[in-house]
Structure 1
Amino acid sequence: MASCSNVKGKKSWPEVVGTSSQAAATIIERQNENVEAVVVEEGSSVSTDVRCDRVRIFVDDNNIVKEVPKVG
């Protein structure tokens, strides 16, 4: 499995769990300009590829972050 250990900047955002996806995306992209935040509805199918320029934000039906977003 590929690793993103060589990525510069912050790699995990536990502080955004419980916030809105919009707020989380803004925080993530401000704190690490090397990544793009992508909002995904909880339970959706996603690819298994590891991309070190992507952070998935898993949200519930109310658009609230449910898992710690991280690079990969």
Structure 2
Amino acid sequence: MWPELVGKNGEEAKQTILRENHVVKLVVIYKQDAIYLDDFCCNRVRIFVDKNGKVSSYPFIPMVG
């Protein structure tokens, strides 16, 4: 989890996640009201941004189970 990224620029948050966790292979940035598939992938992180491109909720790696 990266709660410290809330309010930061989405692209900067993406680079931070990729730098800090080498297991993560893909970081996808979505608008906060986007529709997306709720599938799980342990090496992908979704970042949700507001209309200003700022992270609106903390990014995390999904867990199954």
TM-score (norm 2): 0.89
- Percent of matched pairs sharing the same residue: 38
Looking at structure 2, the residues matched to 37 and 63 of structure 1 have their Cα atoms a distance apart, in angstroms, of 15
**Total equivalences in the alignment:** 61
Q: CA RMSD in A?
A: 0.7
Corresponding position of 2:17: 28
Corresponding position of 2:7: 18
Looking at structure 1, the residues matched to 16 and 53 of structure 2 have their Cα atoms a distance apart, in angstroms, of 16
SS in 1 for 2:54: coil
Unaligned runs of 5+ in 1: 1-11
Unaligned runs of 5+ in 2: none
Deviating above 2 A after TM superposition, structure 1's stretches of 4 or more consecutive aligned residues are none
TM-score (norm 1): 0.81
Q: CA deviation at 1:19?
A: 0.3
